[in-house]
Chains A and B, each alone.
Chain A
Amino acid sequence: MKEAIVELREVRKSFGEERPVEILHGIDLRIGRGEFVALIGPSGSGKSTLLNQIGLLDRPTSGEISLEGKNITGLDDTEVTRLRGQTLGFIFQFHHLIPALKVAENVMLPAAVLKGGLDAALRPRALELLDAVGLKDTADQYPRELSGGMRQRVAIARALMNAPPLILADEPTGNLDTQSSDRVFELLRRQHTEKETSFLIVTHDDSLAARCDRVIRIVDGSIDADGSPSEVLGD
């Protein structure tokens, strides 16, 4: 079995102070380096909540999470923030590009944050990534000049900027039409084959999940099924 990029042991998450409601009920999960995984499940089942725990955007109520073999329990906010910037790439349903920055600058942002400034030396890499998502010509435009699908591709380029070993995507195609959606998915797939980047993609779209290597279904905050697309989704 491949080395784990992320590992969860008995992860529980509750929300609410006075009367906490448990949303994740003791999740055990292991994703190996270079895996391409879909996370599916009904609305409200806890997919985003789980992704946020793995992405260090939120902290579990109990249980342990290891990232690249490093246990993150007990790290303070500064360390977690740094680790997040170095190890993880994020793609969300909404691109959240910074409107005041040009497209290329938006792509450079994760590296700029690590380096502490928008360095011109980062630009070639940003252009390369924009080229990869088919948007090289938009480098000096502002996000508002782009279509929804194009913006989402910029967000993908941004997620790839630091070449993170793991990319977490929460419904990355949720807002796109079929054609754009296919294109975005192909991009993720290509990054995976070329760079061996691991992916965990939350999706409502079974046909998209079917094109992944492994599918995890979560129902009511527990893992209900975990296996190959045909095992989980049926034929």
Chain B
Amino acid sequence: MEGRTQSLLILVGVGVGVAAMVFINAIMAGLEVNLLEKTLGAQAHITLTAERSRGQGIFGEEDATYARVSSAESNRSTRFEGWQRLVPRFDDNPVFTAVCPRLVGAAQVRRGAVRSGAVLIGADAHRLNDLTRIRERMVAGSFRLGSGEVLIGDSMSETLQARVGDAIRIGDEQQLVRIAGIFDFGSEGVDGSWVLGSLRSVQTLLDRPGDISEIGLRIDEPFEADNVAATLPEIPQVKIETWTERNGELLVALSSQGASSLMISAFVLLAVAMGIASVLIVSVVQRRGQIGILRAIGTPQAIVRRVFLWQGAMLGLGGAMLGVGLGTLAARGLASVALFDIPVTPALMGSAAGIALGIGLVSAFLPARQAAKMDPARAIQGAG
């Protein structure tokens, strides 16, 4: 009777432990997806940038990187030679799910007395949408890159106090353009600085007719970016860069997040293991007499050992089922109020159950051994 209460308690204990594990890992997975989406949503996985050859320009060895694009000099940086021939080659390669040649440059935007620095990006609307899924990010107006039209982020629209249909001025020439729509990528860097226009109009605005500054590529599996980039042939005066190189901090954050969830899971599992082991040890002691009798009537040690291993495995498995259920419920509950999805995948359920079963067996190992090695004479006399 007491044995049953104990088993029930530990079953709940294992269940809560497994639930915590499932829950934490689901949250971490959800957070990771969410962070990646936020960061990568508007970014290319692989970017090819025109680079001035060493010692060529008066600007020395400075790279025309994305981050430094705001420096005025880069607007007059090297031409991306032969990009028209390069694009169809990427188009033909099924590895790339989006190929978007873009002209990127820094500019001032102004509405009335309010000024703001901006990153001006010109691209084909279709290709830009393939790369950034921007159509889904529109919060006002429509996704259109007609001549004399631009799209801006919601932060910039607040800064400029400009709405759809309003006109703003861009660049040194103070050219007038109209806001066709407002997007929200959920990333301040993008929403506060990007001004999107058609390739042709941006070429005009930046005075770089027929030129682009980079080609953005997207692939199916973002984490394969480095591998895919490594397979690209070298192109003279073109720098190939992946999102992982540009987002070192995010990756460090993700991996430390992963490490901490692993750590939490490990401690939870340790507690679960000790719980199971202690219940079994108590059970072995309580059942000394029975074990002794079983041995006396000829039960081999191996069978006694198996009985306790089995018990451990059942506690682990039962707890796992309970835990996966609880964990899934908790994750669903949180997902309904959180701003992102918390996925409890079959793989997560399966590995949680598998791990719990394994933990059950491992933690039963010592008690089972103790039971099997028990001296039957003392076991029988010592127990009442």
Can you name the residue of chain B whose Cβ is closest to the Cβ of A110? Answer: B297
The reply on B301 being an interface residue by CB < 8 A is yes
- With A57-B376, A57-B380 already in contact, the answer to whether A96 and B293 are too (CB < 8 A) is yes
- The residue that A57 contacts in the complex, of B290, B294, B299, B377, with Cβ under 8 A, is B377
Cα–Cα, bound, A90→B375 (Å): 16
A-B contact number at CB 8 A: 62
Given that A94-B289, A98-B290 are contacting pairs, would A113 and B380 also be in contact in the complex, using a CB cutoff of 8 Å?
Answer: no
Q: Which chain A residues (156-186) contact chain B, with CB distance < 8 Å?
A: 158
User: With the chains together, A92 CA to B381 CA distance in Å?
Assistant: 8
CA distance A124 to B297 in the complex (A): 20
Contact A94 B296 (CB under 8 A): no
**Which of chain A's residues has its CB closest to B296's CB?**
A90
Q: Does more than half of chain A's interface fall in helix, strand or loop, or is it mixed?
A: helix
The interface on chain A, measured as residues whose beta carbon lies within 8 A of the other chain's beta carbons, has a size of 23
Interface residue A41 (Cβ < 8 Å from any Cβ of B): no
> Is B289 touching A113 in the complex (CB atoms < 8 A)?
no
Bound state CA distance, A109 and B300, in angstroms? 13
Contacts of A110 in B (CB 8 A): 297-298
Per the bound structure, the CA–CA distance linking A78 and B301 in Å amounts to 8
Interface residues of A in 85-132 (CB under 8 A from B): 85-86, 88, 90, 92, 94, 96, 98, 109-110, 113-114
| 0/1 interface trace, chain A 62-95, chain B, CB 8 Å (1 if under) | 0000000000000001100110111010101010
> What is the CA–CA distance of A84 and B294 in the complex, to the nearest angstrom?
11
Closest chain-B Cβ to A164's Cβ sits at a distance in Å of 10
Across the interface, name the chain B residue whose C-beta is closest to A82.
B298
Q: Cβ of A46 < 8 Å from any Cβ of B?
A: no
Q: Does A52 contact B (CB under 8 A)?
A: yes
Most B CB within 10 A of own CB, among A48, A77, A81, A94:
A81
Chain A residues with CB under 8 Å of B101's CB are none
Q: Is the CB of B384 within 8 A of A94?
A: yes
B105, CB-defined interface residue at 8 Å: no
A90 surroundings in chain B (CB, below 8 A): 293, 296-297
B295 touches A81 (CB 8 A): yes
Contacting pair B298 A84 (CB below 8 A): yes
Q: Which residues of A contact B376 (CB under 8 A)?
A: 57-58
Q: Residues of B contacting A221 with CB < 8 Å? A: none
Contact with A92, one of B299, B375, B380 (Cβ below 8 angstroms): B380
Interface 0/1 of B350-384, CB less than 8 Å to A: 00000000000000000000000001110011011
Say if the beta carbon of A55 comes within 8 Å of chain B: yes
Given contacts A94-B384, A96-B290, A109-B294, 6 further A-B contacts (CB under 8 A): A84-B298, A94-B289, A98-B293, A109-B297, A113-B297, A113-B299
Q: What would be 25 A-B contacts, judged by CB atoms less than 8 Å apart?
A: A48-B381, A55-B296, A57-B295, A57-B375, A58-B376, A81-B299, A81-B301, A82-B300, A84-B297, A84-B298, A85-B297, A85-B298, A86-B298, A92-B380, A94-B289, A94-B383, A96-B290, A96-B293, A98-B290, A109-B297, A110-B297, A110-B298, A113-B303, A114-B298, A158-B297
